[in-house]
Amino acid sequence: MVETDVLVIGGGPAGVLSALTSAKNGKRVLLIDAKMYEEIGNKICGDALNLEPTTFLEEKLGIEKPHGDEVADLVERLIFKTSNAEFPLKGDGYVLNRHPYGQRLLKQAEEYGVEVRSKTKAVRAISENGIVKGAIVREKRKNEYEIRAKVTIDCSGRNFQIRRTLSEDEFPYLEKKMEKRDVAASYREIIRLKEDHPYHNEIYLMYHKEIPEPGYFWIFSKGEKRLNVGIGWFLDMEVERGMKDHFWEVLHYYYPPGTYEVEDKGGYTIPTRYPMTNAVANGFITAGDAAFHVNPLSAEGHGPALIAGYYAGKAASEAIDTNDISEKSLWQYNVDVMQHFGLSHTKVQLFTEALLKIKIAGLEFLLKRNIFTQEQFLNLHAGSKMGKFEMLKLAIKAFPRYIILFQMKRIANEAAAFEKLFAEYPKTPEQYLAWQKRFQSRMEQIRKR
C-alpha cells in the first residue's frame, strides 16, 4: 500500500495540470497513467488549442505558452464552411504538436515534486462510508495494489475509470452514465502533401452532405505541406457506411489519392456535452473529458482540460490545508468551472441543439443570405437579447424561412435563461439538488428531438 496527499489518475492535460498545481501548492502528489512514460501527452487529436487557456496558465502558474517544436502552426481564424458558404470567426490559438507540449508539462510537474508512475492503470476506486480514499491500481504484468490518498482526481478521459466505479448509493449526486448522444466518434489522419496548402493560420470546420449532421470534417494546418484532417459525429447518429469511408470520400474531394502520404492515423471517442454540473464528492474531483469538459460543438477539450486541471489541483490542495476533504470543502471547484466555461459550454449546447433542428441547410441559408453579421451571431450565441427593430430586419431577410429565425430567437431566450440560472449556481452543496432539478428540466426540454 502507498499513501499520498493527492492521487491523480491520467497524465493528459487535465491530469498533469491537477498534479502540477497540487504539487506547486506543497502537496505530495502521485500521478499514474496506463501509458509508457514517453507516450504520456501523446493523443490522437485535431491538435487545435485556443490562446486563452495558455494565457490563463501563464498568469496563474507561470507556465510558458506553447513554443518551438510544440507549435505546428499559429491560428488566427476559425471558419465554418458549407459547400456554398463560409463564416469566419476571429480566434487566436495554435495547431500543436501535442506530444512535446504534453511531455514538457509532465516534466514541469515533476520539477515541482510530482511522482509519476507510468504503465500503471487505475482499476477501481477505494471508497469507504461515502468517502473516496484512493484507487486500486495495477502496474503492467504485476499485481494490483492500493494507493491511498486524501483527494483522488479522476482525469482518465473518456473512460472515467474512478467515477464509473463509485456506487450510486454512496455517491448519489455524481452522474454515472455517458449516453450515446453525448459522445462523438472521430477519426483523423495527419497527411503530407506534395505542394503547400492554403490553410495556414486558419482552422476549417466543414459541413458536408456526406457527414451526419451536425458532424463535420476538419482541416487544420500542421505547417508547410502538412495537414491534420479528420471527421466526427455523434454516436447515436445513423450511418450506412463506416466512418473511414465517409472520411476518404470527403478528403478525396480536396486531395485525391496520390496527392498525399499518411504520416499518422487513428480514431477515438470524445464526450461532447455540456459539463457535469457537479464534479466533486468527499475526497474526489473529476476533470477534463472524464467530466464532460469538451466544447459541445467544436469538440475542443484540450483547453478546458488544462483549465479544469488547474482548478482541481487548487481545490484539492486548499481542502487538504484545512484538513477537510469533504464535498463541501471541495465545492469551490464546481463554482470555478461553472464560472469559467460551464455557462459558455452550456450555451454552445443550445446552439448544437438548434443546429440539429435547422440542419446544415438552415445554417447555410443563414450564412449565404448574410442574415446574421458576425457580431449578431456572437451576441446570439452569448445570450444577448435582440431588439424588436433588429428582429424585424432579420425577419425580412429570412423570409420565407421563419422557422430558422424562430430557432435562433429560441437560443437567445434560452441562453439568457441559463445565464440567470448559472448566476444562481449554489455556493455550497446544500442547495445543489434544487438547482440541478431546474437545470435538468430546462435542458431536457431543449434536447427533445
Ligand X SMILES: Cc1cc2nc3c(=O)[nH]c(=O)nc-3n(C[C@H](O)[C@H](O)[C@H](O)COP(=O)(O)OP(=O)(O)OC[C@H]3O[C@@H](n4cnc5c(N)ncnc54)[C@H](O)[C@@H]3O)c2cc1C
Instruction: Note whether 161 binds ligand X by CB under 6 A.
Output: yes
Asked if the bond preceding 426 is cis, omega within 30° of 0, the reply is no
Residues 330-349 that bind ligand X (CB under 6 A): none
The residue within the footprint of ligand X, chosen from 28, 35, 225, 369 (CB under 6 A), is 35
Reference 313, options 52, 47, 63; nearest CA is 63
Q: Give dist(CA 195, CA 204) in Å, integer.
A: 19
Sheet of strand 71-81, all strands in order from the earlier edge strand to the far edge: 48-50, 86-96, 71-81, 201-206, 216-221, 226-234, 183-193, 260-271
The residue within the footprint of ligand X, chosen from 6, 7, 8, 14 (CB under 6 A), is 14
Residues 102-121 that bind ligand X (CB under 6 A): 121
Instruction: Note whether 272 binds ligand X by CB under 6 A.
Output: no
Grid coordinates 469507504 are at which residue?
128
Asked if the bond preceding 275 is cis, omega within 30° of 0, the reply is no
Instruction: Note whether 303 binds ligand X by CB under 6 A.
Output: yes
Q: Which among 47-55, 145-153, 254-262, 440-448 is the span making contact with ligand X, rule CB under 6 A?
A: 47-55
Least CB distance to ligand X at residue 160 (A): 9
Instruction: Note whether 367 binds ligand X by CB under 6 A.
Output: no
Instruction: Note whether 134 binds ligand X by CB under 6 A.
Output: no
Instruction: Note whether 305 binds ligand X by CB under 6 A.
Output: yes
Instruction: Note whether 181 binds ligand X by CB under 6 A.
Output: no
Instruction: Note whether 227 binds ligand X by CB under 6 A.
Output: no
The residue within the footprint of ligand X, chosen from 152, 186, 277, 349 (CB under 6 A), is 186
Task: List helix spans (H) across 260-401.
Answer: 302-321, 327-330, 332-337, 343-368, 374-381, 388-398
The 3-class secondary structure across 127-173, one letter per residue, is EECCEEEEEEEEECCCCEEEEEEEEEEECCHHHCCCHHHCCCCCCCC
- Give buried/exposed letters for 168-193 (b at 16+ CB in 10 A, else e): eebbeebbeebeeebbbbbbbbbbee
Contact present, 14 and 308 (Cβ < 8 Å) = yes
The residue within the footprint of ligand X, chosen from 22, 23, 47, 407 (CB under 6 A), is 47
Instruction: Note whether 93 binds ligand X by CB under 6 A.
Output: no
Instruction: Note whether 45 binds ligand X by CB under 6 A.
Output: yes
Contact present, 163 and 271 (Cβ < 8 Å) = no
Q: Which among 3-11, 172-180, 274-282, 432-440 is the span making contact with ligand X, rule CB under 6 A?
A: 3-11
DSSP 92: E
Residues 252-271 that bind ligand X (CB under 6 A): 268, 270
The residue within the footprint of ligand X, chosen from 34, 178, 360, 411 (CB under 6 A), is 34
Residue ranges in contact with ligand X by CB under 6 A:
9-15, 32-35, 40, 43-49, 121-122, 155-157, 159, 161, 186, 188, 230, 268, 270, 288-290, 294, 299-303, 305
